[in-house]
Amino acid sequence: MLKVVVIGSGNVAQHLITVFGKSSTIHLVQVYARNVDVLAHLVPKEKITDDFNTLEEADIYIISITDGSIPEVSALLPFSGKLVVHTSGSVALEQINNKNRRGVFYPLQTFSKNKAIDFKQVPLCLESEKEADYTILETLAQSISNSVYNINSQQRKSLHVAAVFVSNFANYMYSIGYDICEQNNVPFDILKPLIQETAEKVQTLSPKQAQTGPARRNDITTMEKHLAFLTDEKIKTIYTLLSQSIQNNNE
Amino acid sequence: MLKVVVIGSGNVAQHLITVFGKSSTIHLVQVYARNVDVLAHLVPKEKITDDFNTLEEADIYIISITDGSIPEVSALLPFSGKLVVHTSGSVALEQINNKNRRGVFYPLQTFSKNKAIDFKQVPLCLESEKEADYTILETLAQSISNSVYNINSQQRKSLHVAAVFVSNFANYMYSIGYDICEQNNVPFDILKPLIQETAEKVQTLSPKQAQTGPARRNDITTMEKHLAFLTDEKIKTIYTLLSQSIQNNNE
């Protein structure tokens, strides 16, 4: 059994705690939280600590906290030579204090507080300073997910940026669509199958192959109609910029 | 049995022909195509015509062709007083020649040539000039889909613009993500579950509730890191514009 300690009580930490708790090959030894009560619904009280000096022995310590606090918290750990990883997409491995063996355990998914997730489908991006530690991380990762990748810091950086586009910005496109519907008394529900099918398509086609719409087919008339329809200047600017960019991409 | 004639042989026309062909309450009487061969795999030869003067009697004539040709083709029909509808999201009902009873039968979905679709889930947006014709359109629509809406031309216009954002532009965000992955030797596959979950989330949450990411939480450090990472000026511009817009949306 791999012994794991999770440090943190946020969204990702809670999802990890849940999936580790269900695993038959992982022993979740302890969880650190500044506010012990936050995890009361997930972990027996005696397994939660708010004092670094009472941290127990484990094979892996997973720091799952806000990016900016990783250097400080990793320096506060009262031991050295252990395997300590963070779960961030945008923080370099080197930000972990070098008194311990360092690594990264980055689940690339969008986690909601109240929505369960099938962890088997969550891609886990692993990195370790020492080669031998990679095997430990891989064992841990494979016990909860079918989708495990060896990703170095530079690649992880690129994935994090790419994720902003495919998730945060795509969601913002949904948000603009939602507002347009609301302003015109149209139920947003009408667009939901389209949203799902658009995401579905790129599971098998490349996004460039899947691209449709007026900009893709250089349909100036329709684009002009759309711009005439839109009233918000900022939304018009977004429409124009993205359309031009798609048109350039056609070439 | 409702008797239907489909005029057109494009993507949407082919999907309609397929679903009508399977229905037990619709009689697909005939199909018009300029190039008869295009439909040879879908319809028996004797049911296809390339001559408007041989069009048969039907309850509904569905014109499913490029937007710009709708006025011309509807004027070429050698009869009057019949129910004639188009399937376009961006063309007004009035663009159909007024010698016939006019309507709209707009399936709001993205159709791929080689990907089957569950038509029961496709929202159909209906409009008719005469109230009595609405019932006919509704009967036709409900026989192939569970998702039927009465949508006027102004609402349809707004849906068409909204669809560009939630589908075409969202797909373009996937495309940018794909390019970033390729440039950094990362498999795009890693992002696929994230893309699906992002689309999944807004089936139950509003996009504004579902919004996450550095812009949403005003995380200037991460946004600066991302901009420093990106090299293409156009992609940087998109990143900045969308991030600012999300930040304004937070307020």
Q: pLDDT tens digits for A3-27?
A: 999 999 998 999 999 999 999 999 9
A160 to chain B, any CB pair closer than 8 A? The answer is: yes
Assess contact for B146 and B110: CB atoms under 8 A.
no
CA distance B214 to B46: 60
Does the pLDDT of residue B103 top 70, yes or no? yes
**Residue A115: predicted pLDDT:** 74
Between 3.10.580.10, 3.40.50.720, 3.30.2450.30, 3.30.2350.10, what CATH number should domain B2-151 receive?
A: 3.40.50.720
- A-chain residue closest to B232, CA distance: A245
CA distance A94 to A227: 48
Tokens representing B232 are 């293409």
| pLDDT cut 90: percent of chain B above it | 93
Residue A247: exposure state from Cβ atoms within 10 A (0-12, 13-18, ≥19)? middle
Confidence of residue B69 (pLDDT cuts 50, 70, 90): very high
- CB–CB contact A178 B208 (8 Å): yes
**Residue A116: predicted pLDDT:** 78
- Partners of B15 in the beta sheet? none
**Residue B150: predicted pLDDT:** 97
- CB–CB contact B181 A158 (8 Å): yes
- CB–CB contact A197 B158 (8 Å): no
Q: Which of B186, B206, B208, B247 to mutate to test the interface with A (most CBs of A within 10 A)?
A: B186
Q: What are the residue ranges of helices labelled H in A7-112?
A: 11-22, 70-76
For the domain spanning A156-250, the CATH number is 1.10.1040.20
The residues near A54 (Cβ < 8 Å, ≥ 6 apart) are none
**Residue B251: predicted pLDDT:** 64
Q: What are the residue ranges of helices labelled H in chain B?
A: 11-22, 70-76, 131-142, 153-163, 170-183, 192-201, 207-210, 220-229, 233-250
CA distance B90 to A25: 56
Sequence ranges of the domains in chain B: 2-151, 156-250
Average pLDDT, chain B: 95
Does the pLDDT of residue B117 top 90, yes or no? no
Interface of B with A in 106-145 (CB under 8 A): 108-110, 112, 115, 117, 121-123, 125
E strand or H helix that includes residue B62: strand B60-63
For this complex, say whether ipTM is above 0.85.
Answer: yes
Assess contact for A180 and A188: CB atoms under 8 A.
no
Distance from CA of A59 to the nearest CA of B (A): 27
- CB–CB contact B173 A178 (8 Å): no
**Residue A251: predicted pLDDT:** 64
| pLDDT cut 70: percent of chain A above it | 99
Blockwise average pLDDT, block size 10, chain A, 251 residues: 96 94 95 93 95 97 96 97 96 96 95 80 97 97 97 95 98 98 97 96 94 94 95 97 93 64
Instruction: Assign A134 to helix, strand or coil.
Output: helix
Assess contact for B176 and A164: CB atoms under 8 A.
no
**Residue A166: predicted pLDDT:** 98
Residue carrying structure tokens 């720091």: A63
CA distance B200 to B210: 10
Residue A82: exposure state from Cβ atoms within 10 A (0-12, 13-18, ≥19)? middle
Confidence of residue B112 (pLDDT cuts 50, 70, 90): confident
